């Protein structure tokens, strides 16, 4: 059984524990998630099973949609409500200024990953180092905020909805917002409403998987790759392509533009992700 389950990870569970639960239910060892959600966060966590684990990086590359709660006038070592929180004592601005400052996050920017994150440096998770009181240098990473909206705001609390590129830390955006407003801010809740083609509307909980069986909710690899155009590899070149050969024969590649494709055999079997480079074509991800 190969495919992806659009899992809704509930609050209080680690992403690792969610994967372990799916592994137990499916009795398949090869299981992996696509992008860690903190234990306090909830929402869409696509879980790949079997050969679909080869698609993790492609699913992770999709844009994310988050709904996040925040509180002004506070700061925290973890940038959220689950660390050591302090009052700043600063004046809380009005809604109009909050909306105005949020607009400054639109577009590309460089973001410094927080110390309390799952990012690894020299083989160690940053949050493990942070818990030991160790702070290390981190490189800023390019992120893109496509849309950001203030959904609600009352007194010192609010909620935002944002669409962003992978690798974006919402806690850091809220912390930066607090700095722009001059009063401090912490994240109080986080829901990932979507990642790439996966959304909350068709996500399932572990409870549902236990009741229905995971097979009922397994999305086939063809469907997961539906954003890619199809190409058919003729029998003449099939063995070469499947064996990982970079085929340069014009009879195969002349009519195919550069890019990634969903490749099939003439029998209709899914081969995997095929890439047409400048002067050759090859099977980039073998799903057979």
Residues identified as active-site: 38
Which residue, among 88, 84, 93, has the nearest Cα to 74 in the 3D structure? 88
> Which residues are within 8 A (CB) of 155 and not within 5 positions of it... i.e. 6 or more apart?
92
Start-to-end C-alpha separation, the chain: 12
**Structure-token match 């073998």, residue found:** 286
Cα–Cα distance, 3 to 217 (Å, whole number) = 9
227 within 8 A of 259, measured Cβ to Cβ: no
Secondary structure (3-state) at 45:
strand
Cα–Cα distance, 225 to 239 (Å, whole number) = 22
**Structure-token match 């909710």, residue found:** 217
**Structure-token match 């690899």, residue found:** 221
Q: Categorise residue 27: left if φ over 0, alpha if ψ from -120 to 50, beta otherwise.
A: left
Beta bridge partners of 260: 275
Q: Are strands 85-87 and 42-49 parallel, antiparallel or unpaired?
A: unpaired
């Amino acid at each position: 059984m190969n495919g992806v389950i659009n899992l809704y990870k509930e609050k209080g569970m680690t992403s690792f524990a969610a994967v372990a639960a799916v592994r137990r239910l499916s009795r398949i060892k090869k299981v992996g998630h696509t992008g860690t959600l903190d234990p306090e966060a909830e929402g869409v966590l696509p879980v790949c099973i079997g050969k679909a684990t080869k698609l993790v990086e492609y699913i992770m590359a999709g844009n994310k949609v988050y709904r996040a709660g925040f509180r002004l006038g506070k700061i925290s070592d973890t940038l959220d409500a689950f660390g050591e929180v302090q009052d700043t004592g600063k004046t809380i601005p009005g809604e109009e200024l909050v909306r105005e400052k949020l607009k400054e996050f639109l577009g590309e920017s460089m973001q410094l990953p927080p110390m309390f994150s799952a990012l690894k440096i020299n083989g160690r998770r940053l949050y493990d180092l942070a818990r030991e009181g160790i702070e290390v240098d981190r490189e800023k990473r390019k992120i893109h905020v496509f849309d950001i909206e203030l959904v609600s705001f009352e007194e010192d609390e609010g909620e935002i909805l944002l669409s962003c590129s992978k690798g974006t830390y919402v806690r850091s955006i809220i912390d930066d917002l607090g700095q722009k407003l001059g009063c401090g801010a912490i994240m109080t809740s986080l829901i990932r409403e979507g990642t790439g083609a996966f959304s909350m509307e068709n996500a399932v909980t572990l409870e549902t998987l236990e009741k229905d069986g995971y097979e009922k909710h397994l999305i086939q690899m063809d469907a997961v790759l539906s954003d890619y155009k199809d190409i058919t590899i003729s029998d003449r070149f099939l063995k070469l392509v499947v064996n990982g050969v970079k085929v340069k024969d014009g009879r195969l590649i002349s009519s195919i533009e550069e890019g990634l494709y969903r490749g099939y055999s003439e029998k209709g079997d899914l081969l995997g992700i095929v890439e047409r480079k400048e002067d050759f074509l090859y099977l980039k991800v073998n799903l057979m």
